[in-house]
Amino acid sequence: MAMMAYDEPSAAAFAATRHLPAEGLASWRAAVSRHLPVGPGDRVLDVGAGTGAWAAAFRDWYGVRVLAVEPAAAMRARSAYPEMVAGRAEALPIAAAGLDGAWLSTVVHHLPDLPAVAAELRRVLRPGAPVLIRSVFAGRGGGVSLFRWFPEALRVLDGYPSVAEVCAAFEPAGFAPVALEPVPQVSARSLRAAADGLRRAAHTPLALLDDADYDRGLRRLRAAARRTPHAPVVDALDLLVLR
């Protein structure tokens, strides 16, 4: 199921365009706080940590130590978080330890062996610690504006794991779903900014489109930005919580 590897160009595109503005983080802080009751002295695992933006946010929000694991050297080179280590979710470079929670943001579709990931998380988490998965799941792309302009990319989303598939993969490791909620976020301050700053390599569904479909979608997005340039872009991604 691994859909793409982040090389130098795609990592640069991700770092340039995928970090949420401050107003986009507020709803996620509230949602995470409902399911991850941690504070100073606790330790949280960030799996597929990318450029470390979420790890830095968790540290600042809760005063926790975040162990951030990222396989792509190009992403680690752009890390905003100092405790970033190389490693894969299927073989975490962490001794068995009672970590207080795990965070996986927009990464499950890149993990080819979800049962192995679940087993590793069971190994490193304390009993009862939650796994929080932020993602767009197969069949649940309706809250994401990207698919409004690039509807052809819904075919790519069909290849993502569904909520049911993720839950089934985690069940043998003793995890059960306890919450599923769409979380709204301000992804861009304006539609014009979204159109001007779009980087195809930063978005898996766009990177996997053929050129003709991408060009058609880009024309739709730019036309919408001309009509309502100052409208903020609000998306809703899912938060799936397992314990």
| Short-list 134, 135, 136, 133, CA closest to 118 | 133
| 179-219 per-position pLDDT tens digit | 999 999 999 999 999 999 999 999 999 999 999 999 999 99
The architecture of the domain spanning 8-145+154-187+235-242 is 3-Layer(aba) Sandwich (3.40)
Return the ∠ at Cα 230 (arms to 227 and 233), rounded to 5°. 95
Identify the pLDDT of residue 97. Answer: 82
pTM above the 0.75 mark? yes
Q: Residue 13 has what pLDDT?
A: 78
pLDDT of 1 reads: 43
Q: What are phi and psi of 117, to 5 degrees?
A: -60, -45
Q: What is the pLDDT of residue 11?
A: 79
Q: Where are the domains of the chain?
A: 8-145+154-187+235-242
Would you state the pLDDT for residue 4?
Answer: 61
Hey, how many other C-beta atoms are within 10 angstroms of the C-beta on 174? 13
pLDDT for 13-43, tens place per residue? 787 778 888 878 999 999 999 999 999 999 9
Instruction: Give me the residues of the chain with pLDDT under 70, please.
Output: 1-4
> Interior CA angle at 22 toward 148 and 180, to 5°?
60
